[in-house]
Structure 1
Amino acid sequence: MPINTAEALSLVTQICEEEKLRVAVKESVKGGFIAGGATILGGLFGGPIGLAIGGTLGGCTAAYLSQGKFKSVVSIINNDLTGAQRESLANSVRGIFSEIGPADYAALTLYIAQPAVKERIIQEVIGYFQSQLQMTIID
């Protein structure tokens, strides 16, 4: 029973939503530079106390500036991926099911419910986002 693209993506989005997977859209690196720079400056000007104050202020500033800049994986799949990228992601997930070849929908449903299979699907999505889209999943 071949799984079409819509079914594969529906499965992926359901699992990603359950796991609350999110992507840092280039904000983690920027936040790290802000926090690190503030810590360095605090240390240079205030010694050990300055390190603590600079790190705290830098971390708070980075957190404030990155509000709303993290997207859910489901949002990216539904809104940001092109048709070719969706098809590629679906093909990646279909590869997991090619090993079992279930005869009916019930067998596939039981197979997907297994935690190890969910984990394989999550790892496939994470791998796809990292290798194909150069995005990092944070949860």
Structure 2
Amino acid sequence: MPVAVENVMRLLCSISDQKKMRVPVQPSNKSAPMAITGALLGTVFGGPPGLIVGGVLGGLVGSGMSDEPFKPVHKILQQLSHNQKQKLLDKVKTVIWNLDWMDNVELMELVMRSERLQRQLADVLVGFIKAELKTEVQFGV
């Protein structure tokens, strides 16, 4: 039975959500641009003392804008390119190729009822993320 990429992505998203899979994200350094902007505005409005006050306040505002340190795997899956999704689909097919199913709904039900299949697909997903995206996967509590 042919399987659509979108259906496999939906299945993997369900598994990753169920297992609370997430990847660490690089913190974006927003404090430096904010500090510079604050310093410039402080200089314009307050002269030399405004430079210091604006820089400090801008840095504090920028550091408070940091994103979450982790991103759910389902969001990572949604951002994959078509080629990456196809590579992942090819890896998933090695797990599901010998299963007996008639349509994608039946495949989803079959996988979600089987802890072994979920674990195998989660392992495929973790391996793909490590190999393709060069990052580790963590399981939440």
**TM-score, length basis structure 1:** 0.63
Give the 5 Å matches for 1:104-123.
104-105=102-103, 108-112=107-111, 113-123=113-123
- C-alpha change, 1:132 and 1:70, in structure 2 (3 Å) is same
Give the 5 Å matches for 1:1-139.
1-26=1-26, 68-79=68-79, 81-100=80-99, 102-105=100-103, 108-112=107-111, 113-139=113-139
> 1:70-116 deviations in whole A, cap 9, x for unaligned?
1110111113x21111111122112211122x242375345312000
**Matched AA of 2:90:** N
- C-alpha change, 1:84 and 1:123, in structure 2 (3 Å) is same
> 1:18-43 deviations in whole A, cap 9, x for unaligned?
1110001257xxxxxxxxxxxxxxxx
**Matched AA of 2:68:** G
What CA distance in whole angstroms lies between the structure 1 residues aligned with 2:87 and 2:94? 11
What CA distance in whole angstroms lies between the structure 2 residues aligned with 1:83 and 1:18? 24
Gapped runs of 5+ residues in structure 1?
28-63
**TM-score, length basis structure 2:** 0.63
Tell me how far 1:127 sits from its aligned partner: 0.4
- Considering only aligned residues, what root-mean-square deviation do their CA atoms show, in Å? 2.3
Gapped runs of 5+ residues in structure 2?
28-63
Tell which structure's C-alpha radius of gyration is larger.
2
Identity of aligned residues (%): 20
Structure with the largest fraction of helix: 1
